[in-house]
Structure 1
Amino acid sequence: MAKKKAVKNKLSLPLLEELKTLDKSFMNSESGWETPVYLEQNMVHKFRSYQSDALRYFHYSQASETFQYRNIKHVLFNMATGSGKTDVMAGLILYMYQELGYQNFLFIVNTNSVLNKTIDNLTNPQSPKYLYQPTIEIDGERIRIERVKIFPRVQSKNTIYIKLSSVQMVTTDIFTQSENSMGKDDYARHRIAILGDEAHHYSASTKLSDKQKEYEQSWEKAIDIILNARDDNRLLEFTATIDLENKNIYEKYKDKVLYRYALDQFILDRYSKNVKRIQSGNSDEENMLSVVLLSEFRRRYALELYHTQIKPVIMFKSQKINASNEANQKFNELIETLTPETVRGFLERQKALKSEDESETLSIAFDYYRKNEEELPQIVREIKREFSSNRIINANDSDRGAGMLEKGQYEALNTLESPANLYRVVFAVAKLTEGWDVLNLYDIVRISNFKDTKGDKKTTMAEAQLIGRGARYNPFKLDGERSYQRRFDENSNATPSLVLETLHYHTINEPQYLKNLVEALDEMNLPSGEDTKNPLLDVLVKPSFKRTNVWKNGKIYYNQTIVVSDSYYDGLDKYGVDNQSDIVIKWRFASQEVEYKDNIVQEDYTDTHQIPVQLDERFLNKAMNRLSFFHFNHLKQFLPNLTSREEFYGENWLNVSGRALYATVPMTFMRKDLTADEKLEILELYLQEVALKIKSGYNKAKGTNNFIGYPIKEYISDYRKRKPNYDTGKMMLDGKPQTVDRYVIDDASFVYDSAIINMTEKQLVDRILERIGELREQYDDVYLIRMDENMHRESAKNEVLKLHQFEAHPQVVRLEGFQPDFILYLKNAEYFMQVFIEPKGGNLLEREQWKEDLLQYINENEGELVFEDEVADVKIKGLKFYTMNDGRGTMKQLAQVALDKEFEGLSVI
């Protein structure tokens, strides 16, 4: 008899659980705390909701009365790769300076690549990676950030000191006191906050059962010495991976984990690329040509369809340096000898090899080249230019990275998104595992000539972690706008566009290796799947339902929304635009350096100054004419009180005469060097920023208690949807994997012929349909309607079929509204009842609590509901979230709402 797979017990994390409870409690002394305005104003990036949550939880740990006698001095932020941990660090530095009085910050990490990147992030205003505004100002005081090797004995006012060092160097300094180094006494002089990145490396001693000998001069011991040098020293650790299954690690961190944001949630929230695997039995050379054609298709597709420039990067991953160098040589030979005939022959061979499980993405890309066969000579010329040897980085050294840094390739690797960076290909072994945050990596290719093609667990886990890093989203421009979340939907007809938001991992088709890789991806909880044909499926309204009176005359009800009065928008300040201060635009230009075998464009961010950009009305008119958003008829849609373009130049709006425009440029660039076209470009950069703020700041609507009836026959319709083909990513739900499948549902009370739903939704449907007999004892009409947003995805109907908050003072204000997944339609001779039901996974309960609060508010305030149409009696009800196995008693609540009694034999698990 096969052994039953053990289900892991959920590990208790007392501090995190206490903070979650505190966050909901009315007794929380800090319940009204919001991210301070000075943080929002001084950061380059706007904090995402989960980043704000992390900051708020830390604030609770330091300021709430609950913790005032506990001295919470060591905490861990467990956040997914790519989720912006460094942004959180940067925010915490300003917070601890302003709120807690810390001036000294020690940043430590175990790799030079992460260290160098963070130096730019936190201390180099000339870097495009710098996370603060060029000028940091709090309460009218200008704050200076100074990078130091030793914290000064006498500390200057309005100064933040940051020491950035490898943990190895800090440990050496602690245990071998030397001149110009910091020992224990130096860390005791002033309060210090330690920011420990990639913190899973700092517990090697803890992992050992007999660890005392290892601990004596370990990184871990050095960090403990610094932390305990003063009672008010703080240690804030950050990692995407923490092995809580190790009992010693769990004991160390169980009361220190302050915030968690898992990788699967990060991907589910659309902040990353999708991840797909392309499995091939082709040779390395054929895989290389395949991925080059796919990469070029991405670039050309973005340009031809959306008029946007992207530069997709390919990474070839090997296990050994000699294998990587050999692959690099093969690739160079492939590109040098490439001809249109080579491409035609390859496409013909691929066409002959077509099968049901072929890659959908490669099929689309290859079809593009077949349809444009007459352009192949030009396409091949562009490929030979784009993938020439001087646009390839070989990041392999035998001297632990020194050679790469000497060649200037570290900077190139970390600025791959820059328009001035021409590199398209990276060959690497293991240098780019931590700290590499390139956004435009779209293809990772596993070179097959590994000694062990099956891949041991360590190898496949390293590859899975690399895939996780490569999944960072590329915020390319679309219709002149950038987004930091995926914009295309898998359930639309925009399948080719998904290539712009998908990372592909190209791998060999070796069963044992694939099994190991899938297990590694699953262990990381990284949702991915094989890139195969995945057609849209039809979900149809049953003909039997269309013959009913409910279909012909029935309605479903949602509350009406009203927008904030247009009279409010009387100036740009109401849109979050500062129209009083002078404008400073960081304008970088490229200087081109050409050598015999080189054509590398480099950007110099050091030694800059500001020069005034003198403009007159001609420039403004031309810039606004070139940017379609500022055409008056379009602008008027967002600025309803605006009467003319001339008024837009006035004091309440752009305030052209009241402030100056400056450009930050290299020292060698002078005011006289600015051409008219360059002035126009700088002005357009500023206007694009203004446009984004106007669009995000306008048209805020709020719900009302007025419910509108929408005819079922007009709003319940056939639709099409894909079944997700992810085979990894646990999407954990009460210990059980969350999968989505298509289910045929014959019961006449379910209005569709099938449903593409997850396990929780399927269980809810089954439990309701089991109770149809009992419901029919009281109601003549009983129908369960699946409200899938795919019904009207591209239609205005999708917007009206949403519930919106209409509470006077909700604890959490959310204006966007939502569509509960199910409606239970109940009607008898006396009244009609509509019950909103929302199934929810355990990992989403806290995040989406506001939805359940709204559903319960409807029940508790039924007397406030107003119905515009003349109806005899309408009752709108909402249920608490349904979770797996109904642990919250949702079915019991349904029985009370619908029947005023319990269902027969109902048991709550």
Structure 2
Amino acid sequence: MTNNSISKIRHFPLLEEAKLAEMDLFHEHQSYVIPDYLNNNLIHTLRYYQNESIRNYHYTRQNMKLSPQQVLFNMATGSGKTDLMAGLILYLYKEYNYHNFLFIVNTNSVLLKTKDNLVNKNSDKYLYKEKIAIDGKQISILEVEQFPRIQQENTIYIKLSSVQKVSEDLFVVRENTMGLTDYERQPVVILADEAHHYSANTKKEKDDENTWEYAINKILNARNDFEQKNLLLEFTATVDFSKDVIYNKYRDKVVYRYPLSKFMFDGYSKQVKRIETSASDEDKMLNVVLLSQYRKYRANSEGVTSTFKPVILFKSSKVDVSIEANAKFNQIIGNLNVRDLIKFINRQQLMDSNVSSALSLAYDFYLKNEGAMERIIREIKHDFDSRNVLNANDTSGNMLEKGQYQALNTLENPNNLYRVVFAVAKLTEGWDVLNLYDIVRIEKGAGTNKNATMAEAQLIGRGARHYPFELMGRKSYQRRFDNDLSNTQLFIETLHYHTMDEPQYIKQLIGSLKKVDLPTGEDKKTPPIEIKLKSSFKKTEAYKKGKIYYNEVKEVEDEWFNSIAKYGINHKADIIRCLNYGSREVSYQATVGSDETKIIRVEEFDVRYIKKAIQRLEFFRFENLKKYIPLLTSIKEFIYDEKWLNINEVNLFLTVPKDFQLKDISPDDILDVTLALLKEYEVKFKSGYIKQRGTKKFIGYPINEYLTNYNKRVPAYDTANMFNENMQKIEAYEIKDEFYVYEKAIVNKLEYELIERVKVHVNELKKRYQKSVYLLRMDENMHRESVKSEKLKLHQYGSRENRAGEITDIHIQGFQPDFILFLEDSDFYFQIFIEPKGMSGERFISELWKQDLLLYMADNQGEMEFAANEKNVLISGVKFYTKGDGQNTIERLKSL
């Protein structure tokens, strides 16, 4: 090892000592528990790493040898540094009697955001509960310009200011400002956000920032002669410890580090992919619109609430370029028509090597829906109308000149209709948008040097924040779909950065991404691999004469859709919902929080709220509703008829905190609940209106017509996938054993595990089924272009119909289990459907209907009907195969 490499090894004594204490089973620090008053008073439950950071800070406060006045929390963008600040304020108030907190930052945009977080109770982004209580005493948080000389009990005072103003007030004596004596009088905690701005990198910055640094240090040291000293807590995601001057400043002050790569690995971010293209700016604009709108359709089809609104950012380097790009964009949307759009998509698909995986999914969707293209274009023109495009072209980066701050920081709000933002380079710090899914680099005038790519990397890092959209009535603050093998679900948890395909620039960009610890990958297609049937299998009687069986479907007449129940909507007279009163942050896997709640009836709920919600939701206009409820004669019938909403018989109950009273529930709260209810119904009306349903008659399809050679790509992986060992990566495996009918299997780890498990029992099965024992992989790629492949799907049937002829659990759409175990002896022809499934999250729960169908087939084989000449056929299914055979699927296979 060279002397140079030795000199670059960075040790942080404070952090290392805290880690040692955590690892020492007999250290008194092991018994420390995060105080209940933190999570009881914060809107969001602290994440594990935020708990760790507080534990580390507590350790340094308790350790008299350490106990530094100044500490640094080096934590990734989007990891919740402001949540941590909110918790530390309560901690230092309760444990060390600090009442005065000075929050400083270098930009007004961050300042305004933090006001919403810490002192503005009316903001959606306020981080405390409405009532803060510690040890039975109610605590008030007051924003002040000066810390009062006489201070009230049970009160926390917060002064929020730019570092520039604090510095100026310190050295220029004026009335009604805080001078040095104010910081000497009473102990103050300084919360310094974006702290990397307070250390010098260049000579010019050094002159300016030393003034800030000097001012901060004057305040910090103002009470060094007192027992209770002032404290400085610094927070930043960006700190360059490779520079000796920075490392030497902070080496004994770093109390916690949580890098961006770990943040992404833990699933608290979106995935990040680059789409590198040589397309013009105009083509990139149309591509990203198609991608963004497909993302919206994809989310809605997955059951994500209809308020899901993916946002696009077009990033330019100069204001005039951005204004010009904005005008071009409006022109593209205004001129969009069916003929030109189909022509554009076909031309893009011809350039297959340059089409990203995501764009390929989008193109396929539009071409398959060519018949609905007029409607799709109308929706694109509506969503991307110039009124829904926000031009934030201020060169200062503080987002205030044209009053855009509120719009830019409420993009997740359903009432905010903006889908597109045009901005110059500095829209970075302080911009907390979560539903940003596409960033497009406008090439005209764009720089390719280190400074340019570093700014891009930082912007991508901010855009990578996870969007906690609601699915199946629950929000998730971590990615749900890392194990999505088709990328169709993961698609709604992925940020795409659209940039140019130029080797030197890409090399520079990747270097900058690594510098900020942001792993990404290129969104591209890998070369297709040919999957061939084994020649030995083609010679068998099973291949030549065998069949695979699926149940037949029958047409569903419009007359069948005569009630809300036919769409799988369980519309009860008593509707129980949860009031969104600032719910805690939990992952999708977490159990229900421990807050005590109660259920109260909302006596004021009546038809007025239904009518107001219907007015706001485009889907529920009669002409739209009629498309999915063909028997409906009027909106009045939909609202009042007992077969539909039957509103006069409906009671609304809300789950609320135990101290809530009926008077605390506002009309807006009731309307929000009603809107959410109808949005859920919208998804079910759309998914439930299917014109075919399954029957108990099973049809045999010749194996030699449906099992063929086919091509498949191994997906390219990126971001967390690159270093997440638990990721169900798809890979190509050669399988020489004769029981598997293809030469190769392109499968994930779970599917390969199933193949290996079956392999162990092949000889045992052959003793019982002498003629054939084969495992068939039923891949959706086998007949991508063939309409007849639609026949190879299972559909629900049978006793799900009640006595009234209603299907109580609607899943009319078919599905294709991934594997068929094909068994044959002299008497029986036995076919068993097997579906591997990762056993976690909402996706597993939402697909349990498939397992129910497989088990129904196993338990009700006598119901099945076959052709007259097919009397010895047995069709069955088993529970989902899960990791490690957690549901004993293999044992069930052996016993069938």
TM-score (norm 1): 0.62
Structure 1's 179 and 30: CA in aligned 2 closer, same or farther, altered over 3 A? same
Rounded to whole Å, the distance in 2 between the matches of 1:425 and 1:261 is: 31
Structure 1's 69 and 536: CA in aligned 2 closer, same or farther, altered over 3 A? farther
Aligned to 2:449: 456
Q: Once the 2 structures are TM-superposed, how far is the Cα of residue 69 of structure 1 from its aligned partner?
A: 4.2
Aligned Cα RMSD in Å?
4.6
Instruction: For residue 126 of structure 1, give the secondary structure of its aligned residue in structure 2.
Output: coil
Q: Is the 8 A contact 1:275 1:529 kept in 2?
A: yes
Gaps of 5+ in 2: 533-590, 613-617, 619-640, 646-650, 681-711, 738-742, 750-817, 820-832, 841-896
* Residue-by-residue CA offset, 1:604-636 (whole Å, 9 max, x unaligned): xxxxxxxxxxxxxxxxxx9xx99xxxxxxxxxx
User: Of residues 382, 392, 404 in structure 2, which corresponds to 1:385?
Assistant: 382
Does 2:494 match 1:512? no
User: Of residues 315, 318, 321 in structure 2, which corresponds to 1:317?
Assistant: 315
Instruction: For residue 30 of structure 1, give the secondary structure of its aligned residue in structure 2.
Output: helix
Structure 1's 339 and 40: CA in aligned 2 closer, same or farther, altered over 3 A? same
Aligned to 2:21: 22
Q: Is the 8 A contact 2:348 2:355 kept in 1?
A: no
Rounded to whole Å, the distance in 1 between the matches of 2:482 and 2:14 is: 37
Structure 1's 526 and 91: CA in aligned 2 closer, same or farther, altered over 3 A? same
Rounded to whole Å, the distance in 2 between the matches of 1:190 and 1:581 is: 46
* Residue-by-residue CA offset, 1:230-271 (whole Å, 9 max, x unaligned): 131110000001111110111110010100001111111111
Instruction: For residue 521 of structure 1, give the secondary structure of its aligned residue in structure 2.
Output: helix
Aligned to 1:346: 344
Moved more, 109-118 or 523-532: 523-532
Q: Once the 2 structures are TM-superposed, how far is the Cα of residue 283 of structure 1 from its aligned partner?
A: 1.1
User: Of residues 51, 67, 90 in structure 2, which corresponds to 1:94?
Assistant: 90
- Superposed, 1:146-545 pairs within 5 Å as 146-204=142-200, 207=201, 214=207, 218-231=211-224, 232-309=229-306, 310-355=308-353, 358-397=355-394, 401=398, 405=400, 407-450=402-445, 452=447, 455-490=448-483, 492-533=484-525
Structure 1's 539 and 79: CA in aligned 2 closer, same or farther, altered over 3 A? farther
Instruction: For residue 329 of structure 1, give the secondary structure of its aligned residue in structure 2.
Output: helix
User: Of residues 81, 84, 88 in structure 2, which corresponds to 1:85?
Assistant: 81
* Residue-by-residue CA offset, 1:540-595 (whole Å, 9 max, x unaligned): 9xxxxxxxxxxxxxxxxxxxxxxxxxxxxxxxx996241369999xx9x9xx9xxx
Instruction: For residue 235 of structure 2, give the secondary structure of its aligned residue in structure 1.
Output: strand
Aligned to 2:34: 35
Q: Is the 8 A contact 2:37 2:133 kept in 1?
A: yes
Q: Is the 8 A contact 1:746 1:753 kept in 2?
A: yes
Q: Once the 2 structures are TM-superposed, how far is the Cα of residue 99 of structure 1 from its aligned partner?
A: 1.0
Rounded to whole Å, the distance in 1 between the matches of 2:717 and 2:676 is: 46
Structure 1's 732 and 198: CA in aligned 2 closer, same or farther, altered over 3 A? farther
TM-score (norm 2): 0.62
Structure 1's 286 and 655: CA in aligned 2 closer, same or farther, altered over 3 A? closer
Rounded to whole Å, the distance in 2 between the matches of 1:20 and 1:429 is: 42
* Residue-by-residue CA offset, 1:19-45 (whole Å, 9 max, x unaligned): 100112234333212221111111111
- Superposed, 1:493-642 pairs within 5 Å as 493-533=485-525, 576-579=594-597
- Superposed, 1:94-173 pairs within 5 Å as 94-173=90-169
Rounded to whole Å, the distance in 1 between the matches of 2:395 and 2:84 is: 35
* Residue-by-residue CA offset, 1:29-70 (whole Å, 9 max, x unaligned): 33212221111111111111111111111111112xxx2244
* Residue-by-residue CA offset, 1:273-330 (whole Å, 9 max, x unaligned): 0000111111111110000011111111211332522100000011111111111111
Q: Is the 8 A contact 1:525 1:728 kept in 2?
A: no
Q: Once the 2 structures are TM-superposed, how far is the Cα of residue 489 of structure 1 from its aligned partner?
A: 2.5
Identity %: 47
- Superposed, 1:761-772 pairs within 5 Å as none
- Superposed, 1:750-769 pairs within 5 Å as none
How many residues align structurally?
622
Q: Is the 8 A contact 2:72 2:254 kept in 1?
A: yes
- Structure ranking higher on relative contact order (CA contacts 8 Å, 6+ apart): 2
Q: Is the 8 A contact 1:360 1:533 kept in 2?
A: yes
Rounded to whole Å, the distance in 2 between the matches of 1:722 and 1:4 is: 44
Question: What amino acid is the match of 1:509?
Answer: D
Q: Is the 8 A contact 1:663 1:682 kept in 2?
A: no
Q: Once the 2 structures are TM-superposed, how far is the Cα of residue 358 of structure 1 from its aligned partner?
A: 2.7
Q: Once the 2 structures are TM-superposed, how far is the Cα of residue 533 of structure 1 from its aligned partner?
A: 2.2
Structure 1's 159 and 282: CA in aligned 2 closer, same or farther, altered over 3 A? same
Q: Is the 8 A contact 1:582 1:659 kept in 2?
A: no
Instruction: For residue 260 of structure 1, give the secondary structure of its aligned residue in structure 2.
Output: strand
Structure 1's 122 and 451: CA in aligned 2 closer, same or farther, altered over 3 A? closer
Structure 1's 374 and 684: CA in aligned 2 closer, same or farther, altered over 3 A? closer
Structure 1's 661 and 280: CA in aligned 2 closer, same or farther, altered over 3 A? same
Instruction: For residue 324 of structure 2, give the secondary structure of its aligned residue in structure 1.
Output: helix
Structure 1's 183 and 14: CA in aligned 2 closer, same or farther, altered over 3 A? same
- Superposed, 1:656-735 pairs within 5 Å as 660-663=661-664, 678=671, 681=674, 725-726=717-718
Q: Once the 2 structures are TM-superposed, how far is the Cα of residue 176 of structure 1 from its aligned partner?
A: 1.5
Q: Is the 8 A contact 1:536 1:722 kept in 2?
A: yes
Structure 1's 723 and 23: CA in aligned 2 closer, same or farther, altered over 3 A? farther
Rounded to whole Å, the distance in 2 between the matches of 1:660 and 1:62 is: 41
Question: What amino acid is the match of 1:341?
Answer: R
